[in-house]
């Protein structure tokens, strides 16, 4: 399942990224962040609040080009992105939001809509949707373009635990079926373990890579004991990084 030795899709080599605070002071947000992602790999990017995860995603997606270093992706690629807040066009129905993303109507789109439980909501408008449903539409839209790289920024934040778990399961089943190369940001270790076959951990700000851990067991076969071992291992690495 995890394509160890498969073709590299993404190479991240960010030497330095700074941001200017409101005070005008320049602050280092990321320093020497390097990792690569193979085709079909599902990677969770984990790190404490403010360590630069969203900043890094924006560099990878090409939305921010002001940094030292390089992000390498195939020249012709489609990136599907799910932001922390679902960005839907409010005056368009759910169906139109999906169509505008470039998704051709058909079997694939129907399957994505069905997996995410959106079939009964296609005529609704974003203002009529709960946050959970709006997130589902944003996820459907990102999948619908058949992305070479799917980037998700904490797509389950501020959802209740049961809904978050259901959405996580739906996402996993889509990723499994469509074999999408995926980079998902979270600060929830358990979420990272349940979704990813690779976990990259960033240190507290300025973010640098403190762990790059492959999970050999396919995610659907991971036992609670194996998950607990990985959790303990990651916690030890994070504690060491916090301690300096």
Ligand X SMILES: Nc1ncnc2c1ncn2[C@@H]1O[C@H](COP(=O)(O)OP(=O)(O)OP(=O)(O)O)[C@@H](O)[C@H]1O
Burial degree of 123 (CB within 10 A; 0-12, 13-18, 19+): exposed
> Shortest Cβ distance from residue 152 to ligand X (Å)?
12
State the minimum distance, in angstroms, from the CB of residue 238 to ligand X. Answer: 14
- Cβ at position 53, least distance to ligand X in Å: 4
- CB 177 → ligand X: shortest distance, Å? 29
Three-state secondary-structure class, residue 68: strand
The first and second tokens of residue 171, run together, are 């996402």
Beta bridge partners, 71, equal: 12
Q: Is 99 or 187 the residue whose CB approaches ligand X more closely?
A: 187
Residue 54 Cβ vs ligand X, minimum distance, rounded to whole Å: 3
Shortest Å, Cβ 52 to ligand X: 4
DSSP single-letter state for residue 69: E
Distance, in Å, from the CA atom of 16 to the CA atom of 132, rounded to the nearest integer, reads 35
What angle separates helix 161-178 from helix 131-144, to the nearest 10 degrees?
A: 10
Cβ closest to ligand X, residue 21 vs residue 221: 21
Q: Identify which of residues 49 and 223 has a Cβ nearer to ligand X in the complex.
A: 49
3-state secondary structure of 48: coil
Residues within the interface to ligand X (CB under 6 A): 19-21, 29, 47, 49-55, 187, 205
**Cα–Cα nearest to 143, from 165, 183, 175:** 175
| Percent of the chain that is helix, strand, coil (3-state, to 5) | 35, 25, 35
């Amino acid at each position: 399942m995890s394509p160890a030795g498969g073709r590299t899709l993404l190479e991240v080599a960010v030497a330095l990224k700074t941001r200017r605070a409101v005070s005008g002071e320049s602050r280092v947000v990321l320093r020497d962040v390097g990792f690569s992602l193979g085709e079909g790999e599902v990677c969770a990017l984990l790190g404490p609040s403010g360590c630069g995860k969203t900043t890094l995603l924006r560099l990878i997606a090409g939305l921010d080009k002001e940094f030292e270093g390089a992000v390498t992706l195939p020249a012709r690629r489609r990136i599907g992105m799910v932001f922390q807040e679902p960005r839907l066009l409010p005056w368009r129905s759910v169906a139109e939001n999906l169509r505008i993303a470039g998704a051709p109507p058909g079997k694939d789109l129907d399957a994505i809509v069905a997996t995410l439980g959106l079939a009964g909501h296609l005529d609704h408008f974003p203002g009529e949707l709960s946050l959970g449903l709006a997130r589902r539409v944003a996820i459907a839209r990102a999948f619908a373009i058949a992305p070479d790289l799917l980037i998700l920024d904490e797509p389950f934040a501020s959802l209740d635990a049961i809904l978050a778990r259901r959405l996580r399961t739906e996402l996993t089943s889509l990723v499994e079926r469509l074999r999408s190369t995926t980079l998902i940001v979270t600060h929830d270790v358990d979420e990272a373990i349940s979704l990813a076959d690779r976990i990259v951990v960033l240190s507290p700000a300025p973010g640098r890579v403190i762990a790059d851990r492959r999970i050999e067991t396919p995610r659907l076969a991971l036992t609670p004991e194996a998950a607990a071992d990985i959790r303990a291992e990651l916690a030890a690495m994070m504690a060491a990084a916090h301690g300096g």
